[in-house]
Structure 1
């Protein structure tokens, strides 16, 4: 079958990403749906196809903690001749609750996988994005300390600078837990969403690419949930459907909407810190500089979205 468009979702083999991919594949049978993570041990792509009686879902391995692998992934995508991307869902994330761990590129792993790998993937896939394409970023309510107070309080995300998050000094690492690093990485998702939306509007308005971020709420673990109870399956299905709506929904609440933050299906304000333009631009400048690898032509191309 000749597909009309591509929909790509990272972290699409389990949990929230799996249920979003299932919903998207069902509602968009004429689109090629690519689910990506480091592995597909549970054969999620095949299971979705079997469940739906379709064949439009494929798996493509991707290691967001290795920028060389992200570059290879983008080259392989281009070589495969897939149709233009109508929706890019940057959904994958990992949390490292113990001591600081680093990626293959020597940056703190939570920040590296949740933000940096996704940012490079976006910039490399820009030439393959259709006009009016949607970029959807899975963030988390953990980025907003006002949502968790009292006995439910979580470590407050602290954004100092992108460089500090990428290469934390020992003193910084000693006072920032893995849970705090995770919440801060989710704050980075929202900061980058606002920065990306602004730069797209300034430099590539004719492409009409939209960018949104979403908090899916508390997720009941990972996996496909084939054996999970009814309550867990309901949460997965509901949150997956909300993520799918941002990517491919056609109602007025999402069509053409950009630079907005959602909690499930509802547009809400993000955290106070996430609106700090200085922090947004610090993250933007550092990210473009780092993922371009010091190549001035690549840096220019990334900033011009071509």
Structure 2
């Protein structure tokens, strides 16, 4: 590993979007150690990428974003490996629970807990291992924006505590709306973090949100019934050209979106761009709600208060020098 100059982390990098982004980065950055981090690596994804690109710069590390102790253990293991500084951090993994409400190991509603809480904690703990120049990309979704008319329920942000520990009528919120709201949280958090990294005079840290579009065939539908999973995995991928014409142009194969994610992470054309939202390779406006600074700061404050174990750690998580 000592031959590598920089490290890259891709959460959810063993399948779908993250897998193809990791492969594209491995191909373009042979001097970087690319770590794909997921709960499991059943298909030998790191080895598969290495074979496909003819290199040996991809590694797998286990990470469960739904378990705070596991996230902390991951970062401890990272520190023990003496890997090069991280120059690209792709906070990409995501889960959707369309039916009954699910909870993480720590009692957070699972969509919010995995898609937001786990990633926010991972970033906070990894700060000492980030290079002076780092690109952070948060995978969001166009479903967070009602104006996109994706067919998904509108995201609704009330408070972080309501989303983390729903009670009363909030327990009846459909799982798909919990997902779209968690994706709104990804964008809110991105903008809150951007304000903070801009205050670091000695660092060139940038953070953006990224919408990969609809990607039939990926693992996002793994919680759906068997027939819908079959349609998603086997039927819809073959219909992507037609779907682009009759539904939305923002429908892609995972390989295409993975290449776009790698472009947002690496390309000189967007180097230094921060605090913005990309749909594929195109910079666009995110939802109206995502620009609400009160919501951004409420989410940021709740996250720090909830995840930091003491005041000293809270100050570190605040992203100040």
Q: TM-score, normalised by structure 1?
A: 0.93
The equivalent of 2:112 in structure 1 is: 111
What is the deviation of 1:229? Answer: 5.5
1:300 pairs with 307, 312, 315, which one? Answer: 315
The equivalent of 1:169 in structure 2 is: 167
Find the aligned partners of 1:178 and 1:266 in 2 and give their Cα distance.
29
What is the deviation of 1:235? Answer: 1.8
Cα contact 1:127–1:305 (8 A) shared by 2? no
What is the correspondence of 1:46-57 to structure 2 with a 5 Å cutoff? 46-57=47-58
Q: Does 1:240 align with 2:258?
A: yes
The equivalent of 1:61 in structure 2 is: 62
The equivalent of 1:89 in structure 2 is: 90
What is the deviation of 1:236? Answer: 1.6
State the 4+ residue runs in structure 1 displaced beyond 4 angstroms: 228-234
Cα contact 1:74–1:121 (8 A) shared by 2? yes
What is the deviation of 1:218? Answer: 0.2
Find the aligned partners of 2:193 and 2:142 in 1 and give their Cα distance.
20
The equivalent of 2:206 in structure 1 is: 210
Q: Unpaired runs of 5+ in structure 1?
A: none
What is the deviation of 1:231? Answer: 5.5
What is the correspondence of 1:114-263 to structure 2 with a 5 Å cutoff? 114-148=115-149, 153-174=151-172, 176-202=173-199, 204-222=200-218, 235-251=253-269, 254-263=270-279
Once the two structures are superposed, what CA deviation does each residue of 1:261-296 show, in whole Å capped at 9, x if it has no partner? Answer: 000000000000000000000000001111113x11
Once the two structures are superposed, what CA deviation does each residue of 1:165-206 show, in whole Å capped at 9, x if it has no partner? Answer: 0000131121x100000000000000000000002223x232
Aligned length: 297
Cα contact 1:156–1:180 (8 A) shared by 2? yes
1:286 pairs with 302, 308, 313, which one? Answer: 302
What is the deviation of 1:154? Answer: 2.1
